[in-house]
A and B are shown apart, each in its own frame.
Chain A
């Protein structure tokens, strides 16, 4: 009953948020973006033990794929991206919405497939080597794309603005992120209860044992990363239309910003839990908005302190800490040492 009320409140707040806090529509949309990339990161990082630092690749690639598809439907991409201001490209409403729909879905699919390819190469790496290997992929991709003139080069790409009232547009983008986030949350909630969820947990806890038991480790790793990449790609695609203009290094493949933030969110909230990434993303986003607004000039220092404090004092994040002090909330039983029978 309590649970039902809790979920009802969450659904109500999710739906009503842009009207309750009309001045913060874009921040709320960004909050959902953070929740999406955090849950998606945790799917491999927390649940499977593969800490990717390169998931931003899927965000950036999602942006580009969505934008290029939307442009390619009505226009020639090379001419569009390299046009001077004298030539105006006008999207009809149909072209805009169809382009957004197909582009965003296409971004998800493209990223899911590219995760299979990148994973096939990088999943031989373990621990820090995997983290650095994936980071390398994201950095290299950003450099390559910024030199790719057909795709706008270092200037990036501009997309048309939302064709109706801009406030309505903000509400639409909010719901697109929120909808994706809710779907991802429910998907993760279901996935972690399946045999697949158990298998990726086994890979995290002892991959060698999992191999010795005949678990198809590579297959599960690729599938998990591919599902995670799909959602990050979709989020990137939505961002492309929300931001209107994006650059390859500052916006799309922003390794040191969003690429790191998503990891910090999960560490803050607690790795390998369903709610950890969500809680972490909310706290992180609040922290970031406050420091970026009130501690200008010191915001990066504050962020660094937050990361250090989290890593040093809350190694398992907020949910991990809760698990420790309230294990019964998580259904964990630990036998008290004194009760353990001396026999066996």
Chain B
């Protein structure tokens, strides 16, 4: 297997806070990789570093063997590496379909093509993906009027609309009604298997990540604590300690 994202000895501090300290990890192509750790352990910071949201202090980040640690958010997004936000970001004044249409992969579009109207197949794709995440009935509602969980689903659908090579999801199940979480896990798996999108998922919920990921990395206090298969992580005393200690 080849790794699509390679993080090598990445450190990031905020003032005196060491959010990430010499972290190295690999995300395998075509797989679902999990990133867990107690609150404040530096998971979101690592995502932000990968997608170019802030400059890193040291280390190297490669996407498809290309160094991206000096690139801007847009340049990285245009390589096909897309992220969703922990606090969800959607265009709240627009309805769900409009949110989807805006998320078409502009990186694949020439300026002249942007002067076309949305085609029938753009609309079909938007509808199909809204149906995929279970928001088809709500597609003409303004996105801002959706519940937080529905907004998370919408943001996930928007990310799929963008046809990324790899997708970083920051706590996709946070705020989702527990009865719907199993369905969401199923959809994440299908996005991976059917659309062939490599997923790198931050997840606070242990049960979810155990069901979802092929490989899991665990952070604590900004450092990489453990890595391995779900079973290995589940039985790793350091991981159990970190979670028990934090809660």
Which residues from chain A sit less than 8 Å from chain B, CB to CB?
Answer: 191, 193-196, 198-199, 201-202, 205-206, 208-217, 219-220, 223, 332-335, 340, 343-344
Contact = CB atoms under 8 A, between A and B. Distances in A.
Interface of B: 51, 72-74, 77-78, 82-83, 85, 89-95, 98, 101-107, 109, 111, 113-118, 134, 138, 140-142, 145, 147, 149-150, 158, 162, 176-177, 179-180
Which of A201, A211, A340 has the most chain B CB atoms closer than 10 A to its own CB?
A: A211
A211 B118 contact: no
Contacts of A199: 102, 106, 114
Contacts of A333: 95, 140-142
Nearest first, the 9 A-B pairs at minimum CB distance are A214-B77, A209-B89, A205-B91, A196-B114, A214-B78, A214-B107, A202-B102, A215-B106, A195-B114
B82 A195 contact: no
Given A213-B82, A334-B142, A344-B150, A220 B162 contact: no
Contacts of A195: 101, 104, 106, 109, 113-118
Given A214-B82, A214-B107, A344-B176, 12 more contacts: A194-B118, A195-B115, A198-B102, A201-B98, A205-B94, A206-B91, A211-B72, A211-B77, A214-B162, A333-B95, A335-B138, A344-B177
B5 to A, nearest CB: 16
14 contacts: A195-B118, A198-B98, A199-B102, A208-B73, A209-B91, A210-B102, A212-B51, A212-B85, A215-B106, A223-B111, A332-B142, A333-B140, A344-B149, A344-B176
A333 B109 CA distance: 30
Given A343-B179, A344-B177, A211 B89 contact: no
| Residue of A206, A211, A212, A217 most packed against chain B (CB within 10 A) | A212
Nearest to B162: A213
Contact of A214 (B74, B117, B180): B74
Contact of B74 (A196, A211, A332, A335): A211
B63 to A, nearest CB: 13
Contacts of A332: 95, 142
Contacts of B109: 195
Contacts of A193: 117
Contacts of B101: 195, 198
Contacts of B82: 212-214
A201 B78 contact: no
B106 A216 contact: yes
Given A205-B92, A340-B147, A344-B147, A211 B113 contact: no
B113 to A, nearest CB: 7
